[in-house]
Structure 1
Amino acid sequence: MLIELIPLFMFAAICIFLMLGYPVAFTLGGVALAFAAFGIVGGIFDPNLLKSFPSRLYGIMNNYTLVAVPLFVFMGGILEKSRLAEDLLENMSKACGRLPGGLGISVVLVGAMLAASTGIVGATVVTMGLMSLPLMLKRGYAPSFACGTICATGTLGQIIPPSIVLVLLGDVLSSAYQQAQLKLGVFSPKTISVGDLFIAAIVPGLALVALYMLYVFFTAWLRPNIVPRIQIDEAEEQVSFIRVLLSLLPVMLLIGLVLGSILIGAATPTEAAGVGALGACLLALWKKQFNVARLREVSRSTIQISAMIFMILIGASLFSLVFRGFGGEELVHSFFSQLPGGVFTAVFLVMLVMFLLGFILDFIEIIFVVVPIVGPVLLAMGVDPIWLGIMIAVNLQTSFLTPPFGFALFYLRGVAPASIKTSEIYRGVIPFIILQLLLLCAMSVWPGLVTWLPEQM
C-alpha cells in the first residue's frame, strides 16, 4: 500500500523543499533522482525508464513553440524601459479626469495595455507601482484602493495575450492532449496550440478589464471620499485627448502586429514574438530610450529569466518521468474516477489545489509540475483543453492576488512607500479577487465565453 503512495510522497517532498528555499529546478530533478534511486534499489522502479530522458531533453531543445518565451521576455523588457506607459498614463488620466474614478480607470487601461505588451506579471506590477501609486496617493485615493487596483491590473499579464503563462500552458497542454488520446486509443488530427489559447483568452481578458473598470467607476460614484474626482479645465482635457491618441498609437500598433498576425493566421506565436521584439526596439529607438547599455541590461535579464524557465522545465520533465514510473498517473486517474460528481468535482478539486499551491509556488512550477500530472487525466475525462487552459490561467492569476502569500502583493510591497501598511494592500485586493472568482464561475457555467471565439477562427 505504501508503494502505491510513493507519487504522493514525491509531491509532498517537492513542496517541503521548495518552502525551505531550495532552487526549484534542482529540487525537481534532485527529488526525482533520489526517489528513482530508492526505487531501483528496492526493485520497484524500472531503470530503463531513465533512458528516455535524453530524448525528452532533445524534445525541449527542438521545441519551436518555446522559442517565443525569450522573445516575449525581451519585448517586455524593452517596453518597460521605453517609458511608453508613463506617457500614456499621464495623458489618459487627464482625458478621463471628468469621469468618476478617472485616474483609476486610466490605471486599469494602461495596466491592461502594458500586460498585453509585456506578458510578465512582476514587471507590470512593479512598473505600475512605481509609476501610478505616487500619483494616485497625491490625488487623494485611499491607499488600500490604489494598491488593490495596481496589483489587480498588474496580474492581467497572466491572461491577456501575449502571455508567458499561455505560451507555457499551450506547450504543456498540447503534450497532455496527445497523452490523453493515446490513453483513450483515439487519434484525432486536432491539435492544441498557443495561438488557440491566445484567441480563447481575449474575451475573458477583456471581460476582466471591464469588471475592474466598472468596480472603479461605481466605487468612485458611491464613495467619493475613497476615490475622488480630478478637476481639470476643458482646454487641458482637449489637449490631453490628442496626446492620448498619440500615446496610444505606438502601443496599439505593436499589439496589433503581435496579436493581429496570430489571429489572422499570418504568423505563429513564435514568429509574432520575433516581430514584437523588433517592434519594441523600434519604439524604444523612436522614444530615444534605446542604447547599447540598455540593450545589454535587457538582454542579460532575458537570458537569466529564460535560463530559469528552461532549467525548471528540464527538472519538471525528469520529475514527471519518475512520477509516471511509480504509477502516479494511474493513481491520480483512479482517485478522480472515484470522486462523487464526476468531471465537475475533479475539475473543482484541481482548481482548488492549484489555487492553494499558488500561495507557495510560482506559476512556472505549477504549470510544469501539476499540469502534466492532472492534465492528461482531465482531458481523458472529456474536458475541453482550451477551456481548461484558460481556467487554469485565471485561477493562477487569482492566487497571485490572494493574501497573505500572493506574489503580486510582494512585488508591490517592495516598491510601495513605508507609510502604506501591508494590511492595506491585503484589504485593497479583496474586491478584485471576488471579481476574478465571479469570472471563473461564469466560465464554468458558460464555457462558450472561452470556446466561442476559437471556434469562429
Structure 2
Amino acid sequence: MTDPQVAVMMLAMFILVILLGFPICFTLMGMGVLFGVYAFYDPSYMSSILDPGVVGRLSFLITSKTYEVMSSDVLTAIPLFLFMGYVVERANIVARLFYSIQVAARSMPGSMAVAALATCALFATATGIIGAVVTLMGLLAFPAMLKAKYDTSFAAGVICAGGCLGILIPPSIMLIVYAAASGVSIVQLYAGAIFPGFLLAGMYMIYVVTRAWLNPKLAPRLSDEEVEGVDKKQILWLMLTSFVPLALLILSVLGAILFGWASPSEAAAAGALGGLVLAFAYRALTWERLRESVYLTVRTSAMVCWMFVGSWLFSSVFSVLGGDKLIQEFVIGLDLSPIFFLIIAQIIIFLLGWPLEWSEIIIIFVPIFLPLVHYFEIDPLFFGILVALNLQTSFLTPPMAMSAYYLKGVAPPHVELVHIFKGVMPYLALVLICMVLLYVFPGIALWLPNTVYSTGGG
C-alpha cells in the first residue's frame, strides 16, 4: 500500500470513528500520532518505530503546531468575541430586544417570527455560537410563539434557521477560523460576508411574512390585549433602550475592523468591554453571571484551539503521506471548469456537514481544496463566503441537523423532531437559492471588499 493510499485510509477511518461517537479533538490528535509514526518511519536508517528519530520528529511536529496555533494573532479574537456574546446572553439583553421588535412589528404578518429572526440576526453578530443562539431563542421566543398559537413546525423553522445565521454574519467565529486556515484577511472576509449574511436573513423574513400573509393560521397576529397600553412613544423608548445599544455596540466593533481603526483582536477586546458596560447599564452584571461567562468562554475557546491543534496535526500527517496531492491530481485530471469545480466542492462540503462540525470541515478539508482554488483561479475570499453559506445547510439538513437537536433539547415535550425537521426544510431551500444567487452574482460578496480594499482576497 502506497503512502497516498494510507492517507486516504486515514481520512476514511477518521470519519468512521467520528460517526461512532468518539470525541473529535482526541480522535484527530490520536490518529495524527498513530499515522505520524508510520509517516516518519524510515526503515533504511531506523531499526524500530520507537527509535528516537521517529519520536523526535513527531514531537517536534506536535509542539510546533501547538505553538503556531496558540500564538496566532487571528485566533486571539475568538475568546474575546465569545466573552462578549456570553455576557450579552446572560444579561437578559436578548429578551428585551425580542419583546421590543415584536411590539414594534405587531402590525406585520408573522410579527413574532420576524422579531425572532431579527433578534437571531443581531444576537448572532454578538456571539456567533449556533448552539447558544438556538437554545436561548428556543427558551425565549419559541414558547411565546406557541402560546400565540403559531404552527409548531413554522415556529421551529424560524428558530433553527435564524440561529444558524451566526456562521455567516460577522463577527463570525467560523470566518476567523477560515482566515487562520487559509491566510485570507479576516477584515476582507468580514466585509465580504456582510451583504450575503443580511441577504439570507432578508430572504428568511420575506418568506415568513409571505407565508403568514397567505395563511394567517400559521402565525396569528398579536391580540389587542397583548399590546394593550403600548403606544408609539413607549415603542420608541423600548427600541432606544434595547435595540439601539446592542446595535451600536456591534456596529462599532465591525466598523473599527472594516475601516482599519483596530485589529480584530483589539475590536473584540473593545466589544467585550462594551458588553460588560451594557450589562452594567441594564443592572444585570452580577458576580455569578460574570463567572459563568468567563467559564463558558474558557471552555469553548479551549475546545476550538485544541481542535485546531489536533486538526493541523492530522492535516500535516495527511500532507506528509501525500493524501492532498493525490486528491488534487485526481480533481485536476477530471479537467473541470471553475464553475463545475465550485459546484462539486460545495456538494462535498454539504455532505461532510452531516457527520462533521463546521470546525473540522474548515480546518481539515478546506486546506485540501485551497490549492485547487488557486489552480482554478477562484478568489479564496469568495470560496470562503460560499463555504460559510453552505455550512448553514449542515445545521439544517435532516437527519443530522444540529440546530434541530439544540431546539428539541429545550422545547416542550409535545414538540417532536419530525415537526422541527418539517419546519427547517423551506429555509434549507432558501440557503440553496442564496448560494445560486452568489454563483450568478459574485459581486454580492466581492463588491464591498473590492471597493474598500481594492482587492478581493488572499
Sort the TM-score into its range (normalised by shorter chain): over 0.9
Encode CA deviations 1:59-99: one digit per residue, 9 max, x unaligned.
22221111001111111110110111111111221121111
Aligned to 1:217: 209
- Once residues 235 and 95 of structure 1 are traced to their aligned partners in structure 2, the CA distance between those partners, rounded to angstroms, is 13
Structure 2 unaligned spans of 5+: 453-458
Counterpart pick for 2:138 among 104, 129, 138: 129
**CA contact 1:95–1:237 (8 Å) conserved in 2:** no
1:28-177 to structure 2, matched below 5 A, reads 28-41=28-41, 43=43, 50=58, 51-174=60-183
1:227-246 to structure 2, matched below 5 A, reads 227-232=219-224, 236-238=230-232, 239-246=234-241
**CA contact 2:4–2:321 (8 Å) conserved in 1:** yes
1:21-420 to structure 2, matched below 5 A, reads 21-41=21-41, 43=43, 50=58, 51-174=60-183, 192-232=184-224, 236-238=230-232, 239-420=234-415
User: Which amino acid counterpart does residue 101 of structure 1 have in structure 2?
Assistant: G
- Once residues 8 and 431 of structure 1 are traced to their aligned partners in structure 2, the CA distance between those partners, rounded to angstroms, is 36
- Once residues 377 and 38 of structure 2 are traced to their aligned partners in structure 1, the CA distance between those partners, rounded to angstroms, is 36
**CA contact 2:40–2:57 (8 Å) conserved in 1:** no
- Once residues 311 and 352 of structure 2 are traced to their aligned partners in structure 1, the CA distance between those partners, rounded to angstroms, is 16
Question: 1:304: Cα distance to partner?
Answer: 0.9
Aligned to 2:455: none
TM-score, with structure 1 as normaliser? 0.92
- Once residues 11 and 293 of structure 2 are traced to their aligned partners in structure 1, the CA distance between those partners, rounded to angstroms, is 35
- Once residues 13 and 439 of structure 1 are traced to their aligned partners in structure 2, the CA distance between those partners, rounded to angstroms, is 34
Question: 1:40: Cα distance to partner?
Answer: 4.4
- Once residues 336 and 445 of structure 1 are traced to their aligned partners in structure 2, the CA distance between those partners, rounded to angstroms, is 23
Question: 1:356: Cα distance to partner?
Answer: 1.4
Question: 1:246: Cα distance to partner?
Answer: 2.3
Aligned to 1:183: none
User: Which amino acid counterpart does residue 315 of structure 2 have in structure 1?
Assistant: S
User: Which amino acid counterpart does residue 337 of structure 2 have in structure 1?
Assistant: G
The 1:99–1:30 alpha-carbon spacing in structure 2 relative to 1, beyond 3 Å, is: same
- Once residues 242 and 57 of structure 1 are traced to their aligned partners in structure 2, the CA distance between those partners, rounded to angstroms, is 50
- Once residues 376 and 49 of structure 1 are traced to their aligned partners in structure 2, the CA distance between those partners, rounded to angstroms, is 26
**CA contact 2:100–2:243 (8 Å) conserved in 1:** no
Aligned to 1:10: 10
- Once residues 385 and 204 of structure 1 are traced to their aligned partners in structure 2, the CA distance between those partners, rounded to angstroms, is 16
Question: 1:52: Cα distance to partner?
Answer: 4.4
- Once residues 59 and 32 of structure 1 are traced to their aligned partners in structure 2, the CA distance between those partners, rounded to angstroms, is 17
Question: 1:452: Cα distance to partner?
Answer: 0.5
SS of the counterpart of 2:400? coil
Identical positions, percent: 38
Encode CA deviations 1:134-191: one digit per residue, 9 max, x unaligned.
11011111000000000000001111111111111111111xxxxxxxxxxxxxxxxx
**CA contact 2:39–2:320 (8 Å) conserved in 1:** no
Question: 1:441: Cα distance to partner?
Answer: 0.9
User: Which amino acid counterpart does residue 304 of structure 1 have in structure 2?
Assistant: R
- Once residues 210 and 43 of structure 2 are traced to their aligned partners in structure 1, the CA distance between those partners, rounded to angstroms, is 65
**CA contact 2:111–2:221 (8 Å) conserved in 1:** yes
Question: 1:409: Cα distance to partner?
Answer: 0.8
- Once residues 375 and 302 of structure 1 are traced to their aligned partners in structure 2, the CA distance between those partners, rounded to angstroms, is 30
**CA contact 1:170–1:193 (8 Å) conserved in 2:** yes
**CA contact 1:199–1:453 (8 Å) conserved in 2:** yes
**CA contact 1:107–1:132 (8 Å) conserved in 2:** yes
**CA contact 2:350–2:393 (8 Å) conserved in 1:** yes
SS of the counterpart of 1:401? coil
How well do the aligned residues superpose, as a CA RMSD in angstroms?
Answer: 1.8
Equivalent residue pairs, number: 440
Question: 1:348: Cα distance to partner?
Answer: 1.9
- Once residues 78 and 114 of structure 1 are traced to their aligned partners in structure 2, the CA distance between those partners, rounded to angstroms, is 12
User: Which amino acid counterpart does residue 434 of structure 1 have in structure 2?
Assistant: A
The 1:237–1:356 alpha-carbon spacing in structure 2 relative to 1, beyond 3 Å, is: farther
- Once residues 194 and 40 of structure 1 are traced to their aligned partners in structure 2, the CA distance between those partners, rounded to angstroms, is 34
- Once residues 123 and 251 of structure 1 are traced to their aligned partners in structure 2, the CA distance between those partners, rounded to angstroms, is 17
Deviates more, 1:351-360 or 1:50-59: 50-59
- Once residues 39 and 59 of structure 1 are traced to their aligned partners in structure 2, the CA distance between those partners, rounded to angstroms, is 21
The 1:438–1:49 alpha-carbon spacing in structure 2 relative to 1, beyond 3 Å, is: farther
SS of the counterpart of 2:334? coil
**CA contact 1:49–1:321 (8 Å) conserved in 2:** no
Question: 1:234: Cα distance to partner?
Answer: 8.1
Encode CA deviations 1:376-395: one digit per residue, 9 max, x unaligned.
23223211011011111111
1:453 aligns with 2:453: no
- Once residues 455 and 41 of structure 1 are traced to their aligned partners in structure 2, the CA distance between those partners, rounded to angstroms, is 47
Question: 1:445: Cα distance to partner?
Answer: 1.4
**CA contact 2:408–2:417 (8 Å) conserved in 1:** yes
Structure 1 unaligned spans of 5+: 175-191
Question: 1:43: Cα distance to partner?
Answer: 4.8
Runs of 4 or more above 6 Å deviation: none
SS of the counterpart of 1:107? helix
